[in-house]
Amino acid sequence: MPPAASPEVAAAVADAHRREWAFVLAATVRTAGDIDTAEEAVQDAYASALSTWGQRGIPENPGAWLTVTARRRALDVRRRAVTAQRTLPKLLEPEEYLPDDLVSDEEEITDDRLRLIFTCCHPALSSGAQVALTLRLLCGLSTTDVARAFLLPEATMAARITRAKKKIAAAHIPYRVPAASELRERLDGVLSVVYLVYTTGHTAPSGENLMRRDLAERGLELARMLRVLLPDDGDVAGLLALVLLTDARSGARLNEHRELVLMENQDRSKWDRSAITEGVSLLREALTRRPRGRFALMAAIAAVHDESKSWSDTDWQEILGLYDLLQDRWPSPVVQLNRAIALGFAVGYAEGLAELDALGAEPQLARYPYLAAARADFLTRLGRFDDARVAFEEALILTENDTERRYLQTRLSGLSG
């Protein structure tokens, strides 16, 4: 049994896994010809790093070392199994790679990562499969971690990932960046997946913790990666701005007792001002593009909140106007719900409640706990405590996040008091 890696080497490999996984895997897929072989080669390369770096020292460029090692292992597999390789699913047209031409230059690496992102988020795959593959292949999460993120049995998630890979092969989904004519349509799907990864971490759908910090960080990392890969795209800038401006408030969402604190009562000194500054700068860039994208408009709403000195200083009329623009750009029941809340604070609680009541017939919101919670809040502010109690009880039935449930229970108990 080889000796255990030193803490320094273990930390360097862990850091390389977090920073370089997507680079290394994306470059290796082109060499290997299929995703599974590439994954195995990359995992072998990281395992090799634990022993080799301890003996020879940590390389100056860990990503390049890992890429060379992984691609050589992939080439070895192809050489040893030429006959078997003919039966394996292909992502690429046949392509030759020379052993001394293993390290891509920066432009090629960029293209490789874009190919991998667009393959993971191909519209032929279900949204669940897109998210699972994105976490597994681009973020390097284990199947166990991906399953835990979505509260699914590991076997279920493993089957989902396997089916997605097989569909990529069976449907001959190309491993490439879409042509300019289809890039805009396909990019929106990629941005949606990245945002879903972040929002799933920002407020966990169920479980004990309010956030899945690991997932939120993965979403932020993916948004930053897209920004590097597509630096001139306004929608990418808008997405990163939205994630930064939302994440900036995370430190104030819980009090010292791990209880939920809504924005109205948060200690704004705990907000991350550097993230807000970066987010606002990106937002200004995104808003110069036409047409303005939905992520830029959502980021603009977040920026109004982040730049307000207090809840009472919030410009609700501006927020309401931004929701009107967002509704035109991206109509959805959830946007209507948030607009109704903004209307309540901009015009009056009764007007906001009337809008919320009208959304009660919307099928997509039938089991959405935030509709019932918003109604309960406005009913409380209007002094209609019996109706508010019923609405809070409905929200409790629909809410599966334990932190949010405790908050709702506290509000309900306060009405009884």
pLDDT in tens, 339-382: 999 999 999 999 999 999 999 999 889 889 999 999 999 999 99
pLDDT, tens only, 123-135: 888 888 888 888 8
pLDDT > 90? residue 86: no
Q: 1 pLDDT band (50/70/90 cuts)?
A: very low
- Pick the residue with more confidence: 409 or 205? 409
Report the pLDDT averaged over residues 49-76.
Answer: 92
Residue range 24-30: average pLDDT?
88
pLDDT given at position 127? 81
On the question of pLDDT at 116 being above 80, the answer is yes
Q: What is the pLDDT of residue 177?
A: 75
> CA Rg, the chain, in Å?
24
Per-residue confidence at 103, pLDDT binned at 50, 70, 90?
A: very low
Q: What is the pLDDT of residues 124-165, one digit of tens each?
A: 888 888 888 888 888 887 888 788 766 678 898 899 899 988
Nearest to 363 by CA among 388, 334, 393, 392: 334
The residue-averaged pLDDT of 48-74 equals 92
pLDDT at 107 over 70: no
Given a cut of 90, is residue 408 above it in pLDDT? yes
State yes or no: pLDDT of 322 exceeds 90.
Answer: yes
Cβ contact 198:223 at 8 Å: yes
Share of residues in the chain with pLDDT > 90 (%): 54
Q: Of 90-99, 181-190, 261-270, where does the model show the most confidence?
A: 261-270
Q: What is the pLDDT of residue 110?
A: 56
Average pLDDT over residues 175-202: 84
pLDDT at 98 exceeding the cut of 50? no
Least confident of 87-91, 304-308, 311-315: 87-91
| Average model confidence (pLDDT) across the chain | 87
Read off the pLDDT of each residue in 241-265 and give the average, rounded to a whole number. 97
Report the pLDDT value the prediction gives residue 82, as an integer from 0 to 100.
58
Q: Calculate what percentage of the chain has a pLDDT beyond 70.
A: 91
Is residue 97 scored above 70 in pLDDT? no
Q: By mean pLDDT, which of 85-94, 106-115, 148-157, 233-242 is the weakest?
A: 85-94
Task: With a cut of 90, say whether residue 184 has pLDDT above it.
Answer: no
